[in-house]
Amino acid sequence: MKEQPVPYPAPRSRTRIRRAALAAATGGLLTLAVGLPAGAAASASPTISLSAAYLSGAVGGVADPTVTVKVAQSGTDASALTVTASASSKTSVARTTDVTVTGTGATRTVSVAARGQGYTDLTLKVTGSGGASATTKLHYAASKAVQKAADTRYFTGSSDASAAVDVGGGYVVVADDESNVLRLYNGAVSGAPVRTWDMSSKVGADKEIDIEGATRVGNLIYWTGSLGNNKDGEYKADRNTVFTTTVSGSGAATQLAYAHSYKKLRGALVDWDEDNDDRYGFAHATEDGEIPKEVDGFNVEGLEFAPGSTTTAYVGFRAPLVPPKDGGKALIVPVTNMDKVVANGTAPAFGAPIELDLGGLSIRDIRKNAANQYLIVAGSWAADDNSDPYALYRWDGVAGHAPVKAVDLPTTDPGGWEAVVSVPDLSVPGQRVQLITDSGSADLYGDGTEAKDLDHDEWKKARAAWFTLP
Secondary structure, 3-state, 62-126: CCCCCEEEEEECCCCCHHHCEEEEEEECCCCCCCHHHEEEECCCCEEEEEECCCCCEEEEEEEEE
**Cα 106 from chain centroid (whole Å):** 29
Looking at residue 299, what is its pLDDT?
A: 98
Q: How many beta carbons lie within 10 A of that of residue 105, not counting itself?
A: 13
Looking at residue 36, what is its pLDDT?
A: 38
Looking at residue 29, what is its pLDDT?
A: 34
Read off the pLDDT of residues 196-206 as tens digits, 9 standing for 90 and up: 999 999 999 99
* H or E element in which residue 18 lies: helix 14-25
**Cα 466 from chain centroid (whole Å):** 16
The model's confidence at residue 385, banded by pLDDT at 50, 70 and 90, is low
Range 103-130 average pLDDT:
97
The model's confidence at residue 386, banded by pLDDT at 50, 70 and 90, is confident
Looking at residue 283, what is its pLDDT?
A: 98
- CA–CA separation, 193 and 155 (whole Å): 7
Looking at residue 32, what is its pLDDT?
A: 32
- CA–CA separation, 237 and 264 (whole Å): 9
Task: Examine the pLDDT at 9 and tell me if it is beyond 90.
Answer: no
* H or E element in which residue 201 lies: helix 200-203
Assess contact for 366 and 358: CB atoms under 8 A.
Answer: no
- CA–CA separation, 64 and 382 (whole Å): 32
Q: What is the pTM of this model?
A: 0.89
Percent of the chain at pLDDT above 70? Answer: 91
Mean pLDDT of the chain: 92
Q: Widest CA span of the chain, in angstroms? A: 142
Range 317-327 average pLDDT:
97
Of the options 2.115.10, 1.20.272, 1.10.30, 1.10.287, the CATH number for the domain spanning 149-468 = 2.115.10
Kind of pairing between the strands at 67-72 and 152-156: unpaired
Task: Examine the pLDDT at 60 and tell me if it is beyond 60.
Answer: yes
Task: Examine the pLDDT at 4 and tell me if it is beyond 80.
Answer: no
- How buried is 52 (Cβ within 10 angstroms: 0-12 exposed, 13-18 middle, 19+ buried)? middle
CATH 2.60.40.10 correct for 47-143 = yes
Looking at residue 383, what is its pLDDT?
A: 81
Looking at residue 384, what is its pLDDT?
A: 72
Task: Examine the pLDDT at 322 and tell me if it is beyond 80.
Answer: yes
Buried-exposed string 218-238: b where 16+ CB fall within 10 A, e elsewhere: eebbbbbbbbbbeeebeebeb
Task: Examine the pLDDT at 40 and tell me if it is beyond 50.
Answer: no
- CA–CA separation, 101 and 248 (whole Å): 37
Read off the pLDDT of residues 238-265 as tens digits, 9 standing for 90 and up: 999 999 999 999 999 999 999 999 999 9
The model's confidence at residue 306, banded by pLDDT at 50, 70 and 90, is very high
Task: Examine the pLDDT at 399 and tell me if it is beyond 60.
Answer: yes
- CA–CA separation, 174 and 170 (whole Å): 13
Domain ranges across the chain? 47-143, 149-468
Identify the sign of the CA torsion 296, 226, 251, 184. negative
Assess contact for 433 and 421: CB atoms under 8 A.
Answer: yes
User: What's phi and psi for 7, nearest 5 deg?
Assistant: -70, 140
